[in-house]
């Protein structure tokens, strides 16, 4: 393996002095735990950004999806249609509440859920749809919203990867009645771990906020009351709170999102220029009516390329890479006889190459050069 001076990681969080200063302020405040002043400020910032009825800061996007299913009343016996080609968190959330995930295939060009596939899967037990903004690219929300409205279904936007992306001029995170965000270390805005639920209906946000704190609400708020208030547990809740330390980091990160996204977009543009004529892979496709947040940069390899051997070669030369994301229906925990052939094909042939805001121009060029050579080394003769 090459030295760290020549290693180019797949992901790298853009955290620095501004974030450290914000954390120091939290330490000085004496309240590092969840649902304190910084958490409340972050929720206000998110609600304003997404023109929402409410925002709830939580420990991760998986928690936000779980809370969304609870707040929307999903119960055992219900079916929820979920985009298949994604990290399996949406399907997990459906299972958490005892319901059944039904997997919808995706578009071959974008990897986002196919609206026709969703329409074809609606049955008597269907109560809602979870669309996914695949690795930062928003799904086709106009037809999805029309289908949900016509059939009386809820629509949830899993915008985990898409903070800063847009669809028809509207920001990802504001494309459905409930949206779930992630602030994991590889996202465009990050606190290492973290998430948020964004809701147009304040009642849904209030339900999620209560359940995220064991069903008793904010201990910080209760501590401000004179006397000795003793909260009552009126709901079965969870410990999904986001610490004020993470919330302080995210206030800075959300303020920097335009700058960080501009840098990621420049990396994507340079990859597109360097690899435009490479016939052993297909570059990401971004429809004209939307913009990409570039959480990942995924190329689709030609059938002739041995992906495992290619990845081994890239890593041996210090180039980070990954398989992309998952065809959820193929995972053993969700085995049930469904087929999503497009998703399965993308799962087999996609490759993620380094994408983050800290990549320099020379690093991007090196990735492209090494990738080009490795593709020819690991492609079967025609």
Per-residue pLDDT at 207 exceeds 60? yes
Per-residue pLDDT at 2 exceeds 70? no
Write the pLDDT tens digit of every residue in 149-192.
999 999 999 999 999 999 999 999 999 999 999 999 999 999 99
Mean pLDDT of all residues in the chain?
96
Share of the chain above pLDDT 70, in %: 99
Which top CATH class is 17-255? alpha beta
The whole-number average pLDDT for the span 79-101 is 98
Main-chain phi, psi angles of 163, to 5 degrees:
-55, 120
Write the pLDDT tens digit of every residue in 339-357.
999 999 999 999 999 999 9
pLDDT given at position 1: 32
**What distance in Å separates the CA atoms of residue 197 and residue 178, rounded to the nearest whole number?**
7
Of 40, 75, 187, 241, which one is the catalytic site residue?
A: 187
With contact defined as beta carbons under 8 Å apart, do 288 and 110 qualify?
no
How many other C-beta atoms lie within 10 A of the C-beta of residue 83? 28
pLDDT given at position 3: 36
The whole-number average pLDDT for the span 110-120 is 98
Per-residue pLDDT at 219 exceeds 90? no
- Give me the CATH code for the 257-377 domain, please: 3.90.1150.10
Q: How confident is the model at residue 224 (pLDDT cuts 50, 70, 90)?
A: confident
**What distance in Å separates the CA atoms of residue 72 and residue 68, rounded to the nearest whole number?**
6
pLDDT given at position 364: 98
The whole-number average pLDDT for the span 300-316 is 98
Write the pLDDT tens digit of every residue in 252-281.
999 999 999 999 999 999 999 999 999 999
Against a cut of 0.75, is the pTM above it? yes
**Domain chopping of the chain, boundaries:** 17-255, 257-377
How many other C-beta atoms lie within 10 A of the C-beta of residue 283? 15
Catalytic residue check, 187: yes
With contact defined as beta carbons under 8 Å apart, do 239 and 66 qualify?
no
Share of the chain above pLDDT 90, in %: 91
């Amino acid at each position: 393996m090459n030295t760290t001076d020549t290693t180019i990681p797949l992901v790298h969080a853009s955290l620095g002095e501004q974030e450290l200063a914000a954390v120091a302020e939290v330490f000085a405040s004496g309240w590092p735990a969840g649902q304190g002043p910084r958490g409340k400020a972050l929720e206000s910032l998110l609600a304003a950004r997404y023109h929402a009825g409410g925002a709830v800061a939580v420990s991760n996007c998986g928690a936000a999806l779980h809370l969304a299913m609870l707040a929307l009343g999903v119960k055992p016996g219900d079916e929820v249609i979920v985009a298949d080609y994604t990290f399996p968190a949406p399907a997990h959330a459906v299972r958490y509440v005892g319901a059944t995930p039904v997997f919808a295939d995706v578009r071959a060009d974008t990897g986002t859920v196919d609206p026709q596939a969703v329409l074809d899967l609606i049955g008597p037990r269907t109560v809602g749809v979870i669309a996914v903004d695949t690795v930062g690219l928003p799904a086709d929300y106009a037809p999805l919203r029309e289908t949900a409205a016509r059939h009386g279904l809820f629509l949830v936007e899993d915008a985990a990867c898409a903070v800063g992306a847009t669809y028809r001029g509207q920001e990802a995170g504001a494309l459905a009645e409930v949206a779930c965000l992630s602030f994991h270390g590889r996202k465009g805005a990050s606190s290492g771990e973290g998430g948020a639920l964004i809701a147009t209906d304040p009642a849904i946000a209030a339900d999620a906020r209560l359940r995220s704190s064991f069903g008793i609400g904010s201990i910080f708020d209760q501590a401000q009351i004179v006397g000795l208030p003793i909260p009552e547990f009126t709901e079965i809740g969870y410990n999904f709170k986001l610490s004020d330390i993470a919330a302080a980091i995210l206030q800075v990160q959300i303020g920097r999102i335009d700058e960080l996204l501009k840098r990621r977009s420049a990396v994507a543009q340079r990859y597109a220029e360097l690899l435009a004529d490479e016939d052993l892979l297909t570059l990401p496709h971004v429809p004209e009516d939307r913009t990409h947040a570039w959480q990942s940069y995924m190329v689709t390899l030609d059938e002739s390329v041995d992906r495992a051997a290619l990845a081994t070669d890239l890593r041996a030369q210090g180039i980070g890479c990954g398989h992309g994301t998952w065809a959820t229906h193929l995972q053993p925990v969700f085995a049930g006889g469904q087929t999503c052939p497009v998703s399965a094909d993308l799962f087999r042939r996609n490759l993620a190459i380094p994408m983050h805001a800290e990549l320099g121009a020379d690093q991007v060029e090196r990735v492209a050069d090494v990738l080009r050579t490795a593709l020819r080394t690991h492609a079967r003769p025609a």
